[in-house]
Amino acid sequence: MITRAATQELERQIILKVLEANAWSRRKTAKWLNISYRSLLYKLQETQLSGFSDTPSEAANPASMSIPLQATPKEIKSMWTGDTSN
């Protein structure tokens, strides 16, 4: 069973990776993740990235992420949705 903290950490990593891939655009990121913009803002706040702007910050350091930087968008999306049927 995955704990809530582990789930939030995974979501945080995925959101940061997708933000980076979308030039830090929160609207494009929400669309790509197939969630509402408001849901993305809530998740950013929930994962302690509430001070997040459209430019990278110290808290959004991609080097500290444990998602492989070479992960494809399809792989990231399957991590996000939990779909392992690829």
Helices 26-33/4-21 angle, 10° precision:
120
- Tell me what the mean pLDDT of segment 11-36 comes to: 93
What does the alpha-carbon distance between residue 74 and residue 71 come to, in Å, rounded to a whole number? 8
Q: What is the pLDDT of residues 43-67, one digit of tens each?
A: 888 877 655 544 444 444 444 445 5
What does the alpha-carbon distance between residue 85 and residue 75 come to, in Å, rounded to a whole number? 11
- Tell me what the mean pLDDT of segment 8-33 comes to: 92
Residue 79 confidence (pLDDT) above 90? no
* pLDDT score recorded for residue 44: 86
DSSP annotation of 53: -
Token code pair at residue 62: 């991609």
Q: What is the pTM of this model?
A: 0.57
**pLDDT category of residue 37 using cuts at 50, 70 and 90:** very high
